[in-house]
A and B are shown apart, each in its own frame.
Chain A
Amino acid sequence: MSHDHDHDDENALRAEALEALLTEKGLVQPALVDAIVQRYEQDIGPMNGARAVARAWVDPEYKQRLLSDAWQAIGELGVTTGPELTPIVVLENTPAVHNVVVCTLCSCYPSSVLGLPPTWYKSPPYRSRVVREPRVVLGEMGVDVAPDVEVRVWDSSAEVRYMVLPERPAGTDGWSEERLASLVTRDAMIGVARPGVGDA
Chain B
Amino acid sequence: MPEAVLDWEGALSPPRRNGELVFDALWESRVFGLTMTLYEAGRFAWPEFRDRLIAEIAACGEDFHYWACWLRAFERLMADTGLCTRDAVDARVTVLAARPAGHDH
Residues in A with CB closer than 8 Å to B93 are 10, 13-14, 17
Binary CB contact string for chain A from 31 to 67 against chain B (1 if under 8 A, 0 otherwise):
0111011011101111100000000000000000000
Say which residue of B19, B30, B92 sits within 8 Å of A114 (CB atoms): B19
Contacting pair A45 B32 (CB below 8 A): no
Contacting pair B3 A44 (CB below 8 A): yes
Residues in B with CB closer than 8 Å to A118 are 19
Interface positions, chain B 72-105, Cβ under 8 Å from A, are: 74-75, 78, 83-84, 88-89, 92-93, 96-97
Residues in A with CB closer than 8 Å to B71 are 11, 14-15
Residues in A with CB closer than 8 Å to B16 are 44
Residues in A with CB closer than 8 Å to B32 are 37, 40
Contacting pair B9 A8 (CB below 8 A): no
Query: A50 to nearest B CB, angstroms?
Result: 9
Contacting pair B30 A40 (CB below 8 A): no
Question: Could you say which of B20, B38, B78 has the most chain A C-beta atoms within 10 Å of its C-beta?
Answer: B20
Complex: how many Å from CA A112 to CA B47?
26
Contacting pair B20 A25 (CB below 8 A): no
Q: B11 an interface residue at 8 Å Cβ cutoff?
A: no
Say which residue of B1, B18, B34, B97 sits within 8 Å of A19 (CB atoms): B34
Number of interface residues of B (CB under 8 A): 41
Contacting pair B40 A14 (CB below 8 A): no
Contacting pair A46 B20 (CB below 8 A): yes
Residues in B with CB closer than 8 Å to A34 are 33
Question: Could you say which of B19, B21, B30, B93 has the most chain A C-beta atoms within 10 Å of its C-beta?
Answer: B19
Contacting pair A17 B2 (CB below 8 A): no
Contacting pair A46 B36 (CB below 8 A): no
Query: A184 to nearest B CB, angstroms?
Result: 9
Complex: how many Å from CA A29 to CA B29?
15
Complex: how many Å from CA A17 to CA B25?
16
Contacting pair B1 A28 (CB below 8 A): no
Query: B27 to nearest A CB, angstroms?
Result: 4
Query: B57 to nearest A CB, angstroms?
Result: 15
Contacting pair B31 A18 (CB below 8 A): yes
Complex: how many Å from CA A115 to CA B78?
30
Of all A-B residue pairs in the complex, the 5 with the closest CB atoms, nearest first, are A45-B20, A17-B92, A15-B27, A33-B33, A37-B33
Chain B interface (Cβ < 8 Å from any Cβ of A) = 1-3, 8-9, 16, 18-21, 25-34, 36-38, 40-41, 43, 65, 67-68, 71, 74-75, 78, 83-84, 88-89, 92-93, 96-97
A-B contact pairs, 28 of them (CB 8 A): A7-B68, A12-B26, A13-B96, A15-B28, A15-B31, A17-B92, A18-B34, A18-B74, A18-B84, A20-B92, A21-B84, A22-B84, A25-B84, A27-B83, A28-B37, A36-B33, A40-B21, A40-B36, A41-B20, A44-B16, A44-B19, A46-B18, A82-B1, A116-B3, A118-B19, A119-B8, A185-B18, A186-B19
